[in-house]
Amino acid sequence: MTDASADQSKWSMVGKDPWTMPIEKIDLSHPGIWQANEFLPFMERLRLEDPVHYCAESAVGPYWSITKYKDIMQVDTSPEIFSSEPTIGIVDTYDEYTLPSFISMDPPKHDEQRRIAQPVVAPANLKRLEHLIRQRVCNILDELPLETEFDWVKEVSIELTTQMLATLFDFPFESRHKLTFWSDAATAIPGAGVVSSNEERWAAMEECLQVFTCLWNERVNAEPGNDLVSMLAHGEATQNMPPMEYLGNIILLIVGGNDTTRNSISGGVLALNENPAEYDKLRADRSIIPNMVSEIIRWQTPLAYMRRTALVDTELGGKQIKAGDKVVMWYASGNRDSEVIDRADEFLIDRDKARQHLSFGFGLHRCMGNRLAEMQLRILWEEIMQRFDMVEVVGQPERVYSSFVKGYTHLPVRLHGLN
């Protein structure tokens, strides 16, 4: 695997002019422009001039970028042409460390495994959890200081999503911060802050497997419960899965339930600060919150892309894609496609058809936890508005060094109470 941080200067697009550089050199996969928040104009140029774009040379090899909403929809809903195997990440997996999980499987195995995990985040189960989620949100918010600067990412976004994960796994509550570390380590680029090497990353994954194997052994000998580990241990399609497949599915559920919602929690605060008129709309009418939640998820697009691999030669947008080619659906770009989304470059919390965004993907791999994410964000904003006139951003946000996880490492804020 290429250590992307080591050759940052060679591949980075940071500081380049997106409108005058040779279009074939545009490389959205490099994390630099994502961390520097410079990715939007590169995507805009591709949508306008070359919506199905081939990048022949990059740190992660050649790949196609799909940037228009409708083309993304077509790829996402054609699993017989665009496979999720062997991986949905832009970096090719290397055999000894391959972590199989249903996000990177095609039917029928995908469907069988997903059906086991699905009930835990099905709306009926979530309804039972709503009271507990609200209680935990209130506890977190009530502990926050007024009129004092602190890091929203650490104190709220991470804390809330980690508590939620511990609940869904029935994971020992006092050790819950390990979940955050494993989630960060799983998607980290070595050298970019979380882990310094691949060996360190894999040490974290092995620790994760050990802890979850203990939980498995405990639950497999008990009556079936409502938590994810118990469901996997007792589910017909999952009870005999090899250790690496178990780890793969655990990591999938940790990352899926952690990084994503975390960054929408932070991203919503930032978007409302950058759009004060929208914050005023929210203050005037809190019934707008469910609609705002969808708009926040579109605006943030917490996972910037999903990768597919062409199984056969095919044509898309007039381009010839060959069997074996990497095809990257840039949800972060499709969500700004003004051909499908009115005033796509504006954050409008009362927009019409706010639910029609790409952040959850579409088709068989559509985000399993979408209703949980929406519920967490809805409850959080209902409780924020009960307590604070404003969550004010008081410094520059710092962003994740990744073209996959689109999010924040720090967001300095100050809370102002209701008058």
Partner 1 sequence: MVKIKFIEHSGQEHDVETNPGASVMIAAVSNSVPGIDADCGGACSCATCHVYVDQEWLVKTGEINPTEEAMLSLSTDRKDNSRLSCQIQVTEDLDGLVVTMPEFQF
Interface residues with partner 1 (CB under 8 A)? 73, 76-77, 107, 111, 114-115, 118-119, 122-124, 127, 353, 355-356, 360, 362-364, 366, 371
Residue 227: strand, helix, or coil: coil
Nearest distance in Å: CB 353, partner 1: 8
Residue 11 or 362: which CB sits closer to partner 1? Answer: 362
Nearest distance in Å: CB 285, partner 1: 18
Nearest distance in Å: CB 250, partner 1: 20
Measured in degrees and rounded to the nearest 5, phi and psi for residue 64 equal -95, 140
Residue 201 sits at the vertex; the CA angle it makes with 200 and 207, to the nearest 5 degrees, is 90
For residue 349, give Cα distances in angstroms to 118, 294, 296, 395, 398: 29, 8, 8, 23, 24
Residue 77 or 275: which CB sits closer to partner 1? Answer: 77
Nearest distance in Å: CB 247, partner 1: 23
Q: How far apart are CA 107 and CA 95, in angstroms?
A: 22
Nearest distance in Å: CB 200, partner 1: 36
**Closest by Cα among 104, 112, 149 to 308:** 104
Q: Is the dihedral of CA 125, 131, 133, 134 positive or negative?
A: positive
Instruction: Give kind and range of the element (H or E) at residue 119.
Output: none
Burial of 408 (0-12, 13-18, 19+ CB in 10 A): buried
Nearest distance in Å: CB 356, partner 1: 5
Tokens representing 30 are 């490099």
Residue 119 or 417: which CB sits closer to partner 1? Answer: 119
Nearest distance in Å: CB 343, partner 1: 17
Residue 371 or 414: which CB sits closer to partner 1? Answer: 371
Q: Is the dihedral of CA 24, 305, 325, 363 positive or negative?
A: negative
Residue 379 or 400: which CB sits closer to partner 1? Answer: 379
Residue 49 or 111: which CB sits closer to partner 1? Answer: 111
Q: How far apart are CA 147 and CA 124, in angstroms?
A: 39
Nearest distance in Å: CB 236, partner 1: 15
Is 1 within 8 Å of 23 (Cβ atoms)? Answer: no
Q: Where are the beta strands (DSSP E) in 263-318?
A: 305-310, 314-316
Nearest distance in Å: CB 74, partner 1: 9
Residue 340 or 348: which CB sits closer to partner 1? Answer: 340
Can you spell out the DSSP letters for 150-163? Answer: EEHIIIIIIHHHHH
Residue 234 or 371: which CB sits closer to partner 1? Answer: 371
Residue 362 or 388: which CB sits closer to partner 1? Answer: 362
Cis amide leading into 86 (omega within 30): yes
